Amino acid sequence: MFERSGPGWQVSARSHMSMLIALYIRDLAGIRNATPALYDTPQTPLLSPLNPPVKPRAADEISRAEFAELCQEWHQWWRRIVTRYDLDGSPAESESPEPGLLGQPHFSAYSSSPSLQRLIRAHYGAATDWAHERRREYNSLSREHVAAGRRQVVESLVEERSMETGPTSEITLNMIELPLAERRAWLVGERTVILSQELVHDERLLRSYLEPMIRFIG
């Protein structure tokens, strides 16, 4: 986890447990391979596959009718997770799975999304094990980023924008770094950006994605 602040600005970078689990479920069920129009919107952009890749092993368990329903249910679930974080943005929100994911064995919080509920029931253990392993990897990578000074470009971009907008502005940038295969960033809220946790290795590319997003946020 990384947090910095200055006059009129603050920036943070962290992973997110519920998002990791949700993306594992997405790729496990092959939801990302569905027609993009089903859930790729400006408010919910289509994120790239996970890295390391998750094979769509659960796809054979789902009928065509169930798959269409599952895509819709997963999209609603994902948007709820992202929106809640964009509004709150607290470290506690990202550290552990959302309360509904702790409702084993029935996961009754998802009873209004029966296809999603069945998939979570069947694969929750594998999903959480995978997510915990990714979190451990991320914590090590994040410390490496700080030690190598790779975070400074983000601080500079936010600070520069704050100076442009003046002392009455307040810029908050929440970065969620996830193990995504494509080195890029996605603006998903009023102050939240999801990005590949490897993107910070390429300063030029990182700057090209974040600079217009920070201008939009601030």
pLDDT digits (tens, 9 = 90+) for 44-67: 788 999 999 999 999 888 888 899
Q: What is the pLDDT of residues 193-206, one digit of tens each?
A: 999 999 999 999 99
50: left (phi over 0), alpha (psi -120 to 50) or beta: beta
Query: Contact, 135 vs 15, CB < 8 A?
Result: yes
Mean pLDDT score across all residues of the chain: 91
Q: Which residue has the tokens 């065509």?
A: 64
Lowest mean pLDDT, pick from 142-146, 179-183, 210-214: 142-146
Where along the chain do its domains lie? 19-135, 147-217
What tokens appear for 83 in the block?
Answer: 């929106």
Q: Is the pLDDT of residue 43 over 70?
A: no
Lowest mean pLDDT, pick from 148-152, 192-196, 207-211: 148-152
- For 48, which DSSP code? P
Residue 35 vs residue 207, higher pLDDT: 207
User: Residue 24: what pLDDT?
Assistant: 97
Q: Is the pLDDT of residue 42 over 70?
A: no
Helices 203-217 & 152-165 angle (0-180, nearest 10): 30
Cα 5 from Cα 15, distance rounded (Å): 19
User: Residue 34: what pLDDT?
Assistant: 63
What tokens appear for 212 in the block?
Answer: 């217009």
User: Residue 169: what pLDDT?
Assistant: 81
In terms of Cβ atoms closer than 10 Å to its own Cβ (0-12, 13-18, 19+), residue 36 is exposed
The candidate with the shortest Cα–Cα distance to 115, out of 78, 74, 143, is: 74
Residue 93 vs residue 73, higher pLDDT: 73
